[in-house]
A = this chain, B = another copy of it.
Amino acid sequence: MNSTEILPKPIAQRLSACGLRPTAQRETVYQVLLSKRDHPTADEVFARVKDVMPTISLATVYNCLEALVHHELVRAVNFERLPTCYCPNLRPHAHFHDEAGSTLDIELPADMLEQLRALLPTGYAAKHIEINFHGRSEHC
Judged by a CB distance under 8 angstroms, whether A135 is at the interface is yes
> Which B residues are in CB contact (< 8 Å) with A37?
none
Instruction: Report Cα–Cα, A138/B124, bound state, in Å.
Output: 7
A130 partner, pick from B121, B124, B134, beta carbons under 8 A: B134
CB <8 Å contact, A132 and B135: no
> Which B residues are in CB contact (< 8 Å) with A8?
none
CB <8 Å contact, A127 and B119: no
Instruction: Report Cα–Cα, A134/B139, bound state, in Å.
Output: 32
Judged by a CB distance under 8 angstroms, whether A53 is at the interface is no
> Which B residues are in CB contact (< 8 Å) with A124?
96, 98, 104, 133, 135-138
Instruction: Report Cα–Cα, A123/B121, bound state, in Å.
Output: 36
Instruction: Report Cα–Cα, A129/B133, bound state, in Å.
Output: 5
Mask of A106-134 contacts with B, CB within 8 angstroms, 1/0: 11110010011101110111111111111
Judged by a CB distance under 8 angstroms, whether A84 is at the interface is yes
CB <8 Å contact, B116 and A94: yes
> Which B residues are in CB contact (< 8 Å) with A116?
94, 112, 131, 133
A134-B138 CB under 8 A given contacts A81-B78, A119-B94: no
Closest 5 pairs (CB-CB, A-B)? A123-B138, A126-B135, A126-B133, A130-B132, A127-B135
